[in-house]
Each structure stands twice: as structure tokens, then as C-alpha cells.
């Protein structure tokens, strides 16, 4: 039996989590969504996630800080950054700091799923959309 991937999704826009949770769950992953970066970091400390999807620009804690936090915790974890067109410089910085990939807002659920599938592949897990 294949391992169930644990995914954490962090975006300070609650709708993103609300809509993407069922979308990612269809890949057969365990999804936890957060709209509060502090709470997300706390959760990352408690649990090791396989994939972390985080928005780069958030009011209290930056996406790059989240990336650093995850990298410090577990190098194996793939971090996917959500970014806007105006933040290409930040995205480049994130890639340098070890982010797996980035996805620009606005995106379709399928776009993110494709990146997650790619990340899962590098983790040796093959994901398919269920249901």
C-alpha cells in the first residue's frame, strides 16, 4: 500500500484553503489547511509534512520564513510557494533557498495539483486524481 502524503496548505486568504482542501484531497493526500502562519508553523513543529504549500506574501509571517522553518525541520519536505506576478524576485529567492517550485496567482486547482504530483514523484510517490 502506498504511503499517504501529508500536505500542509498555508494561505492567509481563507477561501484558498477552503477550496483547495477538497481539490488536493482528491489526490488521496492528507491535507491540513491554515490561514494563520503562526499556527501553521506550530503545526509544522509538531508534524513532519511531505509537502508544504505556502503563500509568499502574508501579513504577519513571510512565506520565506515558513520555507526556512520547514527546511530547518526537514530537508526532505517539498515546499511549493504561491506567488503573485509582482513577486518574481521573491520567488527566485525562494528557489535559491530550496523551494521545490512556485505557482503564480491566479491559478487553477489543476495547476497546483500538477505541481503536487510532480513533487510527490520526486518523493517516490505516484499520485492520481481520485473520484
Partner 1 sequence: MLDDCIDKWYKCGLQRLKRLIDRQLAKSSSKVATPGTEEATKPKPYRFTIKAHIYIGFAVTCIFAMGIVVSMIITMMKMEKGVRLNEIAQSFFSSVSLARLSEKDYFLYGTGLKDSKEIMKGLERLLITHYGELRGYIDYDSSIGLIERYVKLLDSIEELDRERNGDNPLDKTRRRETLQKEIRQCGYMMVNSADKLLSKGRDATDRLMLLFRTVQLYSVVFLILFMLFISHLLGKRVLRAINLFSKYSVLMANGQYATIMSGHNYNDEFSDLSMAIDHLIKELDRQQQILAQSQKLRAVGTLTSGIAHELNNPINNITLTAHMLLEDYSDLSDDERIDMARDLIDEAGRARNIVRNLLDFARESETIMEPICIGSVLMDTLKLAGNQIKLAGVNVDIKITPNLPRIHGDRHQIEQVFLNLILNALDVTLKGGHLKIHAGPSDDHNFIAVKVIDYGHGIPEHILQHIFDPFFTTKSKGKGTGLGLSVSQGIIAKHGGQITVLTKISRGTTFTVKLPITTIPADLANCGERINLSINN
Q: Is 6 in the site for partner 1 (CB under 8 A)?
A: no
Cell numbers at 49, concatenated: 509534512
40 or 87: whose CB is closer to partner 1?
Answer: 87
What residues form DSSP beta bridges with 78? 51
Q: Is 64 in the site for partner 1 (CB under 8 A)?
A: no
Task: Please name which of 17, 81, 78, 10 lies closest in space to residue 50, comparing C-alpha atoms.
Answer: 78
Strand pairing class (78-83; 30-34): unpaired
Percent of the chain as helix, strand, coil, to the nearest 5: 45, 20, 35
Q: Is 107 in the site for partner 1 (CB under 8 A)?
A: yes
Task: Please name which of 105, 5, 115 lies closest in space to residue 58, comparing C-alpha atoms.
Answer: 105
The least CB distance from residue 106 to partner 1, in Å, is: 4
19 or 76: whose CB is closer to partner 1?
Answer: 19
Q: Are 57 and 87 spatial neighbours (Cβ–Cβ below 8 Å)?
A: yes
77 or 127: whose CB is closer to partner 1?
Answer: 127
Measure the CA–CA gap between 114 and 128, rounded to whole angstroms.
10
Q: Is 128 in the site for partner 1 (CB under 8 A)?
A: no
Q: Which stretch binds partner 1 (CB under 8 A): 35-43, 54-62, 64-72, 93-101?
A: 54-62
Binding test (CB under 8 A) with partner 1, winner from 3, 22, 38, 92 = 22
Question: Which residues are at the interface with partner 1 (CB under 8 A)?
Answer: 13, 15-16, 19-20, 22-23, 57, 59-60, 84-87, 105-110
Amino acid at each position: 500500500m502506498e504511503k499517504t502524503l501529508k500536505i500542509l496548505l498555508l494561505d492567509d486568504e481563507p477561501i484558498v484553503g477552503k477550496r483547495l482542501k477538497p481539490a488536493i484531497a482528491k489526490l488521496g493526500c492528507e491535507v491540513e489547511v491554515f490561514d494563520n502562519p503562526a499556527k501553521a508553523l506550530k503545526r509544522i513543529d509538531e508534524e513532519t509534512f511531505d509537502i508544504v504549500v505556502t503563500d509568499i506574501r502574508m501579513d504577519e509571517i513571510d512565506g520565506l520564513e515558513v520555507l526556512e522553518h520547514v527546511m530547518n525541520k526537514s530537508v526532505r519536505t517539498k515546499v511549493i510557494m504561491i506567488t503573485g506576478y509582482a513577486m518574481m524576485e521573491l520567488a527566485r529567492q525562494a528557489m535559491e533557498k530550496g523551494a521545490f517550485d512556485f505557482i503564480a496567482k491566479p491559478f487553477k486547482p489543476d495547476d497546483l495539483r500538477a505541481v503536487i504530483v510532480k513533487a510527490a514523484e520526486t518523493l517516490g510517490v505516484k499520485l492520481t486524481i481520485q473520484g
